[in-house]
A and B are shown apart, each in its own frame.
Chain A
Amino acid sequence: MNSDTKIDKAVEALRTTESPSGAAERLKERLHRDFAPRRVHVRIGLAAVAATGLAVALVAWPRPSYADELQAIYQSQATIGNRHEVQYSRDPKTGDWKVSRELWALGGKVKETIDGAATLYVDRDRVLNEYANEGYAAVATQKRRDGLSLVTLESMLSGKRTNSWSKTLDVRLSGEKVDKYSIRQSNGGPEIVVNYYVRPADKRFARIELVAGGKSESVVELTYGSVKPADVTYRPKPDIVLYDYDKQRQIVLEKVSKIKSSRPVGDQQLSLCTALVDVMGNFQIITKGLQGDQIDLKAPMLVDGQQVPLSAVLFEVSSASLDKRMRRVAGEGPVKPVVGLATMAKGLKPGKHDIDLPVMLDGRTIMIRFEKIEVLMTGSLPYMLCPMNVPFWVEPEPGGAPTKAVDSNSSP
């Protein structure tokens, strides 16, 4: 056997490596648990899967009059301020039904639990996520993101699907007479049917059901008028640490805009504005004065004398284009770049630490020391500092431009 044949055979063998049993399902569970529903999603308050089905159907093909009728009913649901939704989903493995999502809405307040783990509270523009397993909760003002409306959903879900509509009057649902709207769609795979059961008297949804391949997979039951203020009020548990991202962001802003001390690097000045660590061990440092590529990512920095590798330049923003409150203003030239450096430092405690940063000067690396830097603890650094992949004080580019990340390992 020649070497090429041997390598090809070995490559084939490598392609058969299997992922651990249940790993993908564990991942899905984690993703669902951490999935903070967007503002629009919460306001509409319907199961995402059902909403998707509706959006597909509403945009497509010759629309019978009851399609418009259903759309009007659907849009009116967002204004119903006192309702309770329970979503049941079928476990793909056991086939058993389980509560996958529950929502209480009262006035402008909403409480939503997903798989009984992550709990979300919305009070107008303030959104609180509680992660009981991670031992923390975080509250922040959450702006509505552009491009996340149903209109966008409609435009992106257009495609070649076969849809049919039907409406059946006086269907019995738990002893009550309701109207049933059904939308069928198929895209080559199993047929998907979304059934909407609507009370004719008040035009409210009583049940939404998703049927895939002839099998009921997800059901949302809706009741109205029973939610009390206590149902939507957050009561912090004693073992949960609550982080207020709005307050923490204000602290970060002040530290970045008001530099207390700096160190000379050649004919430039470097300031270490602030350092932050989160419950997962993400560790980030914000500096001002040098370009990101003047930091030597290949050399470790020192925290209290211990080596910590620098992973990447997370972001780099020109301070010349920001005013004193770090708002973007017209301006040219990177006078004092604000640079975010990211790494991991599991076990690092908040408090004051001495930090040495590796900086390149005249072709060599020198260590610049900053003493007694206050390290701020937060829940999730990516969400607190870069909720849209760029620092919170910078408006993201339309379309979500990626942040500049420099990887020291990517050199040829």
Chain B
Amino acid sequence: MDELKLARMIATGDRGAMDQLVDAHYDGVYRYLAHLTRHRQDAEDLAQQCFLRARDKIATFRGDGSLRAWLFRLAYREYTHWRRRKTWLPWADAETTPQAEPGFEAVEEAAWLLDALAQLHPDQKQAFLLHEVQGFSVEETAVIVDSPVGTVKSRLHHARTRLGRAWAATQHEVNNELRYQD
């Protein structure tokens, strides 16, 4: 179905259309937020908040870009608000710095990449996750994070370079370890 039509159906209160939106995009939005927060429950809460906001703001979707990019823009904002709340939230229950939950990423490579991404500037991390993992074009990523295309390209370049250095450093440590064992 055409995305603009789907959006308008949601705006008219069509629950089936809302379900369709969730079915099509929930996993991607959740995955993105899980990689950013590295916390299952927070990612689920943020994804829920993102879709609630999407439902309320769906009338503002004009079909200029993809509905997926529009949703990720909302998810990005939810995440930035969440990150700030994690830093300052005097009335909330005890908050902790987000950490990887045990067993969250069983795959070694994924765990390595999330660790390495955590060392990057948040803007570089955002751009990398959106472009490399979620598959958005550079132009779409620029719209989602509300930055110029050139800036996003620069962030992507720096992100890859720094990740490459992180991998090289890891290899260096492993080699040293092996030499020591020999």
Enumerate chain A interface residues (CB-CB to B < 8 A). 3-4, 6-7, 9-20, 23-24, 26-28, 30-32, 34-38, 40-41, 48-49, 52, 148, 152-153, 156-157, 159, 187, 300, 306-309, 311-312, 343-348, 382, 388-389, 399-402, 405, 407, 409-410, 412
Q: Which of B9, B12, B105 has the most CB of A within 10 A?
A: B12
A40 to B10 CA separation, bound complex (whole angstroms): 14
The interface residues of chain B lying within 8 Å CB-to-CB of A9 are: 109
What residues on A are CB-neighbors of B14 within 8 Å? Answer: 48-49, 52
Structural contact, B110 and A10, CB atoms closer than 8 A: yes
Q: Is the CB of A400 within 8 A of B59?
A: yes
Contacts of A12 in B (CB 8 A): 109
Known: A23-B26, A412-B123. 4 other contacts (CB 8 A): A41-B13, A49-B16, A308-B88, A343-B81
**How many cross-chain pairs have Cβ atoms below 8 Å apart between A and B?**
184
Q: B60–A27 contact, CB under 8 A?
A: no
Residues of A within 8 A of B109 (CB): 6, 9-10, 12-13
CA distance A48 to B10 in the complex (A): 10
B residues 1-36 with Cβ under 8 Å of A?
1-2, 4-5, 8-9, 11-19, 22-23, 26-27, 30-31, 34-35
Report Cα–Cα, A187/B136, bound state, in Å: 28
- Bound: A49/B12 CA distance, A: 11
Q: How far is the CB of B56 from chain A (nearest CB, A)?
A: 6
- Shortest distance between the CB of B170 and any CB in chain A (Å): 9
Residue from A14, A187, A307 with most neighbouring chain B CB atoms (10 Å): A14
Interface size on B, as a range, is: 35 or more
**Shortest CB distance B62–A (Å):** 7
User: Is the pair B90, A27 in contact by a Cβ cutoff of 8 Å?
Assistant: no
Q: Chain B CB within 10 Å — which of A32, A402, A407, A409 has the most?
A: A409
Decide: B26 and A24 in contact? CB cutoff 8 A: yes
Q: Which of B23, B164, B167 has the most CB of A within 10 A?
A: B167
The reply to whether A347 and B110 form a contact with Cβ atoms under 8 Å apart is: no
List, in ascending order, chain A residues with CB within 8 A of B40's CB. 20
B89 at the interface (CB under 8 A from A): yes
- Asked whether A382 lies within 8 Å of B56 as measured between CB atoms, the reply is yes
- Chain A, Cβ-Cβ closest to B126: A409
Given known A-B contacts A4-B164, A23-B47, A410 and B146 have beta carbons under 8 A apart: yes
Q: With a CB–CB cut-off of 8 A, which chain A residues contact B34? A: 17, 19
B72 within 8 A of A: no
- Asked if residues B146 and A7 are in contact (CB atoms below 8 Å), the reply is no
Which interface residue of B15, B52, B165 has the most chain A CB atoms within 10 A? B15
From B107, B147, B163, contact of A13 by CB (8 A)? B107
Q: Mark B93-130, 1 if CB is under 8 A from A, else 0.
A: 00000000000010111101110000000110000000
Top 8 nearest A-B pairs by Cβ distance? A347-B91, A10-B113, A3-B164, A400-B59, A13-B110, A10-B109, A13-B107, A306-B90
B148 within 8 A of A: yes
24 residue pairs of the A-B complex, CB under 8 angstroms, read A3-B168, A7-B163, A9-B109, A10-B112, A11-B113, A14-B105, A20-B40, A23-B44, A24-B22, A24-B26, A31-B15, A37-B13, A48-B14, A49-B16, A157-B5, A300-B88, A306-B90, A309-B84, A311-B84, A343-B81, A345-B91, A346-B89, A348-B91, A410-B145
**Closest A residue by C-beta to B163:** A7
Residues of B128-148 whose CB lies within 8 A of A: 132-133, 145-148
Give chain A nearest CB distance to B113 CB in angstroms: 4
- Neighbouring A residues of B165 by C-beta, 8 Å: 3
Could you give, for residues 149-182 of chain B, a 1 whenever the CB lies within 8 Å of some chain A CB and a 0 otherwise? 0010001000010011101100000000000000
Q: How far is the CB of A411 from chain B (nearest CB, A)?
A: 8
In angstroms, Cα B165 to Cα A312, docked, is: 35
Could you say which of B15, B89, B112 contacts A48, with CB atoms under 8 Å apart?
A: B15
Could you say which residues of chain B place their CB within 8 Å of the CB of A28? 18-19, 22
**CA separation between A11 and B135, bound complex, in Å?**
10
A19 interface neighbour in B9, B26, B59, B114, Cβ under 8 Å: B26
Chain A hits for B167, CB < 8 A? 3, 6-7
CB A147 to nearest CB in B, in angstroms, measures 8
Closest chain-A Cβ to B77's Cβ sits at a distance in Å of 7
| Residue of B26, B56, B81, B90 contacting most chain A CB atoms (<10 Å) | B90
